Amino acid sequence: MTFLVYGVIGVVLFVGLVQAHGRLILRRTPPVPHLLALWLLGAAAVFAAVLVGEASRPVVLSALNLAVYLCLGEIYLFFYAAAIGSLSVRIMVKMLELEPLPDALERAIAHYSPAMFFELRIQNLRSQRLLAEAGDRYRLTPKGCRWVRYGVFLKRLLGVGIGG
- Cβ atoms of 141 and 131 within 8 Å: the answer is yes
Q: Would 96 be classed as within a structural domain?
A: yes
Which residue among 85, 119, 154 closes a domain? 85
Same domain, 64 and 32: yes
Q: What is the CA radius of gyration of the chain?
A: 21
Same domain, 7 and 81: yes
- Cβ atoms of 94 and 112 within 8 Å: the answer is yes
Q: Would 162 be classed as within a structural domain?
A: no
Q: Would 41 be classed as within a structural domain?
A: yes
Q: Would 143 be classed as within a structural domain?
A: no
Total domains in the chain come to: 2
pLDDT (tens, 9 = 90+) of the chain, 164 residues, equals 577 899 999 999 999 999 999 999 989 888 878 888 999 999 999 999 999 988 788 889 999 999 999 999 999 988 888 877 777 888 888 889 988 888 888 888 887 777 777 887 888 888 888 899 988 899 999 999 998 998 888 888 878 776 65
Same domain, 47 and 98: no
